[in-house]
Amino acid sequence: MHDIDSRADTPFDPPIISRKGDDPVWKMHKFCWKDAGTWMPQLSAWLAPKFRKDGLRRLNPGGFRDLPWDDPEWLALLGRCLAAGIEYHAETLANALEFSILRTFHGCRTDDAGSYFREGLRLHDRDAMKQRLIAIVDQNDELAGMRTRLDISIAEVDITLDIGRLFVVADDTALLERAAHYLIYGSEWITAVLGRGRHVLLKTGVPTMIEVDLPLSVATPATRIAFARKMLSEWTRRTCNLPDWHAPIDFSFCLHENIPPAWVVGHSHPVQLRDPLERRQLYKSPRTRCAYCGL
Ligand SMILES: [Zn+2]
């Protein structure tokens, strides 16, 4: 559609942003952040007609830049090579991604990952969690001291962000590195209410990473734009520095609807985790298979 030689290398009037989700490069395309081969070629093809006349010379693919992976300069560098501003391209890419599908991850502790394959992932229901908490306290005699003051303990924990929400992340690297307590203990709210008594949560279940193929149409436009910026930054770093490792982004999608079973595509049980609630002590799960794996 665009002829590379006919593009002006001068101030540029952006074209009208294309209709959401109608971009053939991305429509129904499945990709995984960690596996750059699933999206770098597509992003290269998508970006190709958007470069200024001397854009590739400015970018200098393969020309190493001594920048941290998360330096904002990567995005700025790409912006200087493209016609129109980088924010325009981030928004256009976000729109194009609307009907693509991203592999995402959700950390939990469960006896049976099969429940996620059968029932999907549910929004945080505080009443249901409270019933689970009461059952845990009733079943564990070492928590007997909590029984009479459970309501007080609940009132003391001010975690409300997750009510009616569900979080998945684009890269499990950061989740495993910094937030493994979701896999070690399960529910963050129950863990917080139990305090030191949280060790009872280690008696059952297996640390589990659930894999979800998330249609990006369920993300908000603002979240898609933020993710598009990560992709453009990482594309630039990879194109220049040719690294053999991916940027470990800490990127969450906050959902307001349940994830249906059809989107749940895999699970795994990490063997060793660093516990952020125990000064990053090494936690080795005694079990690495759930009922769904076959005990
Ligand atoms: Zn399993």
Taking the centre of ligand 1 as the mean of its atom positions, its distance from the CA of residue 258, in whole angstroms, is 21
Ligand 1 centre to CA of 278 (Å) is 25
Residue 159 has pLDDT above 70, yes or no: yes
Distance of CA 267 from the midpoint of ligand 1 (Å) = 6
Q: Write down the pTM of the prediction.
A: 0.89
Ligand 1 centre and the CA of 213: distance in Å? 18
CA distance 24 to 66: 35
What pLDDT does 3 receive?
34
Q: Ligand 1 centroid to 113 CA: how many Å?
A: 5
- State the distance from the centre of ligand 1 to the C-alpha of 36, rounded, in angstroms: 26
pLDDT at 254 over 60: yes
Report the separation in Å between the CA atom of 121 and the middle of ligand 1, taken as the mean of its atom positions: 16
pLDDT, tens only, 256-292:
999 999 999 999 999 999 999 999 999 999 999 999 9
Q: What is the pLDDT of residue 22?
A: 66
* Identity of the residue numbered 99: F
- pLDDT at site 15: 41
The pLDDT score that the predictor gives to residue 295 is 59
CA of 170 to the centre of ligand 1 (A): 21
Distance (Å) from CA 220 to ligand 1 centroid = 31
Give the span between the Cα atoms of 148 and 111, in whole angstroms: 29
* C-alpha 99 – ligand 1 centre gap (Å): 30
Geometric angle at alpha carbon 43, from 42 and 44, rounded to 5°:
90
Output the CA 140–ligand 1 centroid distance in Å: 25
Residue 9, pLDDT > 80, answer: no
pLDDT, tens digit (0-9, with 9 covering 90-100), for 162-193: 888 999 999 999 999 999 999 999 999 999 99
Residue with more model confidence, 157 or 242: 242
Q: Is residue 42 helix, strand or coil?
A: helix
**Which region among 38-52, 100-114, 145-159 has the lowest average model confidence (pLDDT)?**
145-159
SS3 call for 70: coil
Which of 72-76, 143-147, 253-257 comes out lowest in average pLDDT? Answer: 143-147
Distance 288 CA to ligand 1 centre (A): 7
* pLDDT category of residue 21 using cuts at 50, 70 and 90: low
Q: Which helix (H) or strand (E) holds 283?
A: strand 281-284
Element (H, E) at 128: helix 126-139
How far, in Å, from the CA of 164 to the mean position of ligand 1? Answer: 26
Give CA 248 to chain center in angstroms: 10
Q: Which CB contacts under 8 angstroms, 24+ apart, belong to 61-65?
A: 61/239, 61/240, 62/239, 62/240, 62/242, 63/240, 64/240, 64/241, 64/242, 65/240, 65/241
Q: pLDDT digit string (tens) for 197-210? A: 999 999 999 999 99
For residue 75, name the pLDDT band (cuts at 50, 70, 90): very high
CA–CA separation, 249 and 122 (whole Å): 24
The stretch 6-14 carries a mean pLDDT of: 37
Q: What is the arithmetic mean of pLDDT over 66-79?
A: 98
For CA atoms 186, 187, 189, 194, give the dihedral sign: negative
Between the CA of 110 and the centroid of ligand 1 the distance, in Å, is 9
